[in-house]
Structure 1
């Protein structure tokens, strides 16, 4: 029984190690959240600059580059931590090889920033190309956050990571809408295909924010509602309607580019406040879980020590009692199966083992529920990839096809994605 308790204590220590590695990953997620926010601002300023042929937002873009570089330095500073520098780096963060691979891909994407910035400064790329290239970099960073959520070991932390990922993804769609709209206003003429893309982004934002609200918790949800009440939603909707009406031939006033950018930026900055609050809650949740696990480990260690002492005292005492009672015709041996602990202590230890097992099972069930939303995204991403490979579609076109199919059939997007994957052999032949 001493061996059973020792292994129970070892399991608790493993849990603490997992939580500490998870806390380290959450620090990276916070730094990535700030970098994504600054890159989104940089993308928006760059699109106004490009859409106006360099006439607008030159100084604003230069100022934003400084903020983006500072945020990037924050991420790279985290990656210089001593525990990440050796051959055993995979043990320093939870998720090991999977998360480290995502980090490598994100760094590779970030290496493309200087070239992109040079092309924008020289006006060698169009606004839509700029949006796509920034989108690829931000997508790599968001995939890192997704991976951190997918490998999280604590249900409470996992739910917050799922909420944060969906908030960041929804905010990225809002950032793409800002960039596209800024370029349309700055150019002063309608572009039906880009307006259609804005409709897609509006729908995608709504889906992400619904998932965020389902996982963020009551306190963050209250903060989110309060932020929404001060967002310039009426002005944003008015300008958005102008963009959508441009498909009917309505002219766009280039002077409204900055008004659109400022309105969208205010909305995005307030979304970022919710991101910061959620990221802060992540750190606090990790700290609470680690402190609680350490306290429970100390209690179990004390129990193990107490039982070991009790066993040392009880064994000779049982022998003495047994010897004295043997003369009175009583059995000289203790009851079978009790060992040195006795039935009452043995029942307490078994209860402790059962409680630990039930707690771990409950955690596993909660994790499964939190990851269900992530599993849906995996299905959709795989279905998009299949359509892109087999039908030669762009990512946006593949997603739009899935979404339109879901709407026309009255089915959930994840169901359509699963059905598409089931047709992989047929699609592959064509």
Structure 2
């Protein structure tokens, strides 16, 4: 009996430790979220600076750089405190993502030097900043993928989609700012903006689906955002191919997009508060449950060993040992009940996690398929996505199913996409 009881207690302690690791992982995600916001602001101001050939927006860019540096210091300080202390969830996978993000961020000074020296084009600078942001967003995705609590995983997935939508909005801001500041827009930029608008709509739809708690607040926010001004400026951009754009609109575009992104960041912060609160709630509940279990276990210490048939019944849900088996039936039943309850609870968590993570698995398929198309067909991200989507529509299939089919034949068709262009 003592071995059974000891392992029941150890299971609870392990679960509590995993939740505490998850809470620390969430703290890192939130620090990364703050840095992403400031890097997005820095990217937009850098594009304005470059598109104006350095004649304008130098002061704004300097302010954004300083804000990014402050956010970076906070993230570095958090990581240094944790490097030799308590761990985070996800093990090697998550720590590898942290290392990749830090390696990407190490390239930030070089990007800034290129912007200051005007040796980068707005498109080049935007792409390099976007790679930094993508490395940080991968941290959020990984955290959601390794989370051991379905409710926390749902909020992390919601946060990821919100941040991904905001990143698409930031890339749209940077692309449009460069076009307005330069007084012209090319076909590639038009297609990029159209793609980014669609990505925003998809991301925000997934965000709402995974975060019921913010549904009402999100709908209320839509009435506060400068969406009518944004749509007006979008129309000017998308219809400006082949004719001059009014460069004086660069400030209005940047201000309008920034106001929207600031509001989205406020939603991020609110969601972060929900996430931290849920982590604390889950840990406190588990601690209370553990204390109750410990009290029950202490009452069972010193009783006779659990017979094999009773332990077997606990594992498969069969009948418990009878009183004639030579031990007290009330003691056997109490332990079996605890084993069954814990087993059923963990199975429920596993099933819920599988359902929640299905969305992440679909995203992985689509991203990998886009990568194959970009590598084998020489397409950019927007064109790769359009090709996948068009084939999904033509075949009346889900986008994830088309992506999965492409991945299945990619190794057999080197240099080919396997899709009709």
TM-score (structure 1 length as normaliser): 0.89
- Report the equivalent of 2:98: 103
- Report the equivalent of 1:60: 60
- Report the equivalent of 1:289: 282
- What SS class does the counterpart of residue 337 from structure 2 fall into? helix
Q: Residues 237-252 of structure 1: matches in 2 within 5 Å?
A: 237-247=231-241, 249-252=242-245
Q: CA deviation at 1:338?
A: 4.5
5+ residue gaps, structure 1: 313-333
Q: CA deviation at 1:244?
A: 1.0
Deviation track 1:145-202 (CA, whole Å, cap 9, x = no partner) reads: 1111100001110000000001001110010000000011111123121011100011
Q: Residues 89-238 of structure 1: matches in 2 within 5 Å?
A: 92-218=87-213, 220-238=214-232
Q: Residues 73-88 of structure 1: matches in 2 within 5 Å?
A: 73-81=73-81, 83-85=82-84
* 8 Å CA contact 1:338, 1:346 repeated in 2: no
Q: CA deviation at 1:250?
A: 4.4
* Cα distance in structure 2, aligned partners of 1:369 and 1:351: 27
Return closer, same or farther for 1:429/1:54 CA change in 2, 3 Å cut-off. Answer: closer
Deviation track 1:243-299 (CA, whole Å, cap 9, x = no partner) reads: 11113x443110000100000000000000111111111111110000011111111
Deviation track 1:80-117 (CA, whole Å, cap 9, x = no partner) reads: 01x423xxx7x711111111111111011101110111
Cα RMSD of the aligned pairs, angstroms, is 1.7
- Report the equivalent of 1:299: 292
TM-score (structure 2 length as normaliser): 0.91
Match of 1:350 among 336, 352, 364: 336
* Cα distance in structure 1, aligned partners of 2:323 and 2:355: 46
Q: CA deviation at 1:16?
A: 0.2
- Report the equivalent of 2:42: 42
Which structure has the larger Rg?
1
Q: CA deviation at 1:404?
A: 2.9
- What SS class does the counterpart of residue 165 from structure 1 fall into? helix
Structure 1 runs of 4+ with >4 Å offset: none
Q: How many residues align?
A: 399
- What SS class does the counterpart of residue 381 from structure 1 fall into? helix
Q: CA deviation at 1:413?
A: 1.6
* 8 Å CA contact 1:231, 1:267 repeated in 2: yes
* 8 Å CA contact 1:2, 1:304 repeated in 2: no
* Cα distance in structure 1, aligned partners of 2:395 and 2:197: 21
* 8 Å CA contact 1:171, 1:271 repeated in 2: yes
Return closer, same or farther for 1:267/1:335 CA change in 2, 3 Å cut-off. Answer: closer
Q: CA deviation at 1:335?
A: 4.7
* 8 Å CA contact 1:390, 1:427 repeated in 2: no
- Report the equivalent of 2:251: 258
- Report the equivalent of 1:279: 272
* 8 Å CA contact 2:177, 2:253 repeated in 1: yes
Match of 2:361 among 372, 375, 378: 375
5+ residue gaps, structure 2: 305-321, 417-421
* Cα distance in structure 1, aligned partners of 2:326 and 2:6: 18
Q: CA deviation at 1:398?
A: 2.4
* 8 Å CA contact 2:191, 2:382 repeated in 1: no
